[in-house]
Amino acid sequence: DEEADAPLYPEVSDSMEPDQVALLLESLPREARAECWAQVPVEQRVDVLVEMRTEARASLLRDFDSQALDQLISDLDAETLIELAESLPEDVVDIALARMDERQREHYERSAQYDENAIGRYVDHQLLILPQNSRVRDAVRLLRRETPLFTQHLWLVDRTGRYAGAVETRALFGQPDHLPLIELEEDEFEPLQATRSLREATEAFEHAEVSALPVVDDSGRLLGRMTQTLALELLHEHYEGQLMASAGLDEEEDLFAPVMRSSRRRATWLGINLLTAFLASWAIGLFEGTLQEVVALAVLMPVVASMGGIAGSQTLTLIIRGLALGQISAANIMPLLRKELSVGGLNGVLWALVIGFVAAYWFSSPGIGLVIALAIVVNIAVAALSGVMVPVLLEKLKIDPALSGSVILTTVTDVVGFVVFLGLGSLFLT
């Protein structure tokens, strides 16, 4: 007896890590999430919620009754509450704080001072700290007692809690018990400033050959540490965010966001793009008479616009990468522009010839071929120019070129392309 049922959703299994369960939950339509959530082992639930994207997490938490919420917050540490706080009602956060031990609450309050894009918010507190006048025996005693992950270093602090240095655990092997730790201290160790951005923190890890870095506040006080695993996660989120932003979407966007909310959000981006499309239409509208006389021009418009758009986005992408890597400055902008204009010139001439011949043949009109060929050359050159200048100017204005560069560039190449093409058409063909 074959069943023609819809395929069942995948289920939570014991061998799954919290982040895998989180991905699974996010992949389910909202009706199915609650059912799946019930299968998640109780002891894993907090970790799973922490791993979920904000929107999907909120969709689950909304169905929690007060008893479930109470259970959830019964034993949270500072880092977990920081992650969950924005998805919880304020009074629930207060209850969670009231139940924490004093030290965790202090950690929470210090982290909560930093905004969402600052390292200070995400420090962890599983680090081994010793007074700076400790000796090897103190360190070994501490290491036998506590064993947080990624303990490549012990951190030394002065009497006011200010960061004073790092000692590698492996340096302790074979050292006499009474040796002051300060003599094993490593130099060249830059602690991270808590106010620096997450992106800067991941960069620091690409240089630093350590698995965790100390994080200090403005006065040099040791707040906690940041691990390389977190850096990996943040880098992932950063690029995912960029990818989503380039389509006007939010990184936290839920695959199964409610239709109304999704529609409302996407409408904004559609509206912005509509304005640019109307600008292109307005440019075309300037040549209504010409179009009526030479309808072939209307047929060929997408070719002119598309070639400019593609050539421009190639230059734009190269420049956006260069800006992100810090490789573009006043010193090399002119040679770069010259090179891109040369590349544009060569490709402009090449494709102008191809397109010119095709168009001339298609419409049995050498004039059409000539007009489109000229328009292609001009538009690809303008594309190269804007591909360099648009992102550089946006960066100057502190607007992320990865977000809006492409819309602006396409508007330029569309409008210029249509005006040049139809303008030349009305000069030579009417």
Residues numbered 124-163 forming contacts with its own copies, rule: CB under 8 A: 140, 143-144, 147, 149-152
281 binds its own copies (CB under 8 A): yes
114 vs 205, which CB is nearer to its own copies? 205
414 binds its own copies (CB under 8 A): yes
Q: How far apart are CA 60 and CA 37, in angstroms?
A: 8
115 binds its own copies (CB under 8 A): no
x/- letters, 42..71, toward its own copies (CB under 8 A):
------------------------------
26 vs 83, which CB is nearer to its own copies? 26
Tokens found for residue 409: 């560039």
Instruction: Choose which of 262, 367, 389, 404 interacts with its own copies (CB under 8 A).
Output: 262
Residues touching its own copies: how many (CB under 8 A)? 117
SS3 content of the chain, % helix, strand, coil (to 5): 65, 10, 25
Residue whose entry in the numeric block shows the structure tokens 């800006």: 323
40 binds its own copies (CB under 8 A): no
Sheet strands side by side (includes 129-131): 129-131, 153-157, 163-168
347 binds its own copies (CB under 8 A): yes
34 binds its own copies (CB under 8 A): no
Instruction: Choose which of 2, 4, 5, 7 interacts with its own copies (CB under 8 A).
Output: 7
Q: Which part of the chain contacts its own copies (CB under 8 A), choosing from 57-65, 79-87, 215-223, 274-282?
A: 274-282
Q: Which part of the chain contacts its own copies (CB under 8 A), choosing from 42-50, 58-66, 70-78, 276-284?
A: 276-284
Cβ-defined contacts of 204-207 (< 8 Å, 24+): 205/231
Please provide the DSSP assignment of 87-146 as one string: GS-HHHHHHHHHHS-HHHHHHHHHHHTS-TTBGGGG-B----EEETT-BHHHHHHHHHH-
Spell 62-89 as b/e; 16+ CB within 10 A means b.
eeeeeeebeebbeebbbbbbbbbbebbe
4 binds its own copies (CB under 8 A): no
Closest CA to 403 of 324, 303, 301, 299: 324
104 binds its own copies (CB under 8 A): no
Tokens found for residue 168: 């590698």
Pairing mode of beta strands 212-216, 192-193 = parallel
Q: How far apart are CA 305 and CA 255, in angstroms?
A: 33
CA atoms within 13 A on the CB side of 312: 32
Q: Which part of the chain contacts its own copies (CB under 8 A), choosing from 63-71, 97-105, 193-201, 269-277?
A: 269-277
193 binds its own copies (CB under 8 A): no
Instruction: Choose which of 320, 337, 416, 424 interacts with its own copies (CB under 8 A).
Output: 320
Q: Which part of the chain contacts its own copies (CB under 8 A), choosing from 20-28, 63-71, 80-88, 90-98?
A: 20-28
Give min distance, CB of 137 to its own copies, in A. 11
Instruction: Choose which of 302, 366, 427, 428 interacts with its own copies (CB under 8 A).
Output: 302
178 vs 326, which CB is nearer to its own copies? 326
Tokens found for residue 309: 């758009």
Run of H or E residues at 377: helix 366-396
Q: Give the footprint of its own copies on residues 204-243 (CB under 8 A).
A: 205-207, 209-211, 228-229, 231-233, 235-236, 239-240, 242-243
38 binds its own copies (CB under 8 A): no
Q: Give the footprint of its own copies on residues 242-261 (CB under 8 A).
A: 242-244, 246-249, 253, 255-256, 259-260
Residue whose entry in the numeric block shows the structure tokens 């956006």: 320
